[in-house]
Amino acid sequence: MPKFQRHLFICTHEREPLDPKGSCMHRGSLELASSFKKKLYDQGFKRVVRANKAGCLDQCARGCAIVVYPDNVWYGGVTLDDVDEIIEEHIRHGRVVARLVIADEDLTGIDPNNPPQN
């Protein structure tokens, strides 16, 4: 079987409803993941591009978070209204949807090239 060309990891993490960090699941990420899976399949990307549900991507403050590999492009605040554009622009044509990108300097994860000192 050939390798997938891209993976979309869609955060579907859930926290308690009153948790101040919120969580992507409570912002509609399960529906988002289902929409990506269905539309990628319908548009012929089966076994080419894989949409996976993921745990917390540590971008919780930015709305539903997605990362696309191997491109290493992070999207935040993604809604159902953005699915078609991400598939058409990024997946089909390789053009990043700039308006949804979480800039590198805004990513809340730890930079592996500059880890915190103990």
Which residues from 73-102 bind ligand FES, rule CB under 6 A? none
Q: Is 2 or 109 the residue whose CB approaches ligand FES more closely?
A: 109
Which residues from 1-60 bind ligand FES, rule CB under 6 A? 11, 13, 23-24, 56-60
Min dist. Cβ of residue 66 to ligand FES (A)? 9
Contact 108, 59 (CB under 8 A): yes
Number of residues that bind ligand FES (CB under 6 A): 10
Alpha carbon distance 47, 45 (integer Å): 6
Contact 91, 6 (CB under 8 A): yes
Q: Is 57 or 100 the residue whose CB approaches ligand FES more closely?
A: 57
The DSSP line for 30-92 is HHHHHHHHHHHHHTT-TTTEEEEEES--S-GGGSS-EEEETTTEEE-S--GGGHHHIIIIIII
Min dist. Cβ of residue 3 to ligand FES (A)? 26
Min dist. Cβ of residue 23 to ligand FES (A)? 4
The residue ranges that bind ligand FES (CB under 6 A) are 11, 13, 23-24, 56-60, 65
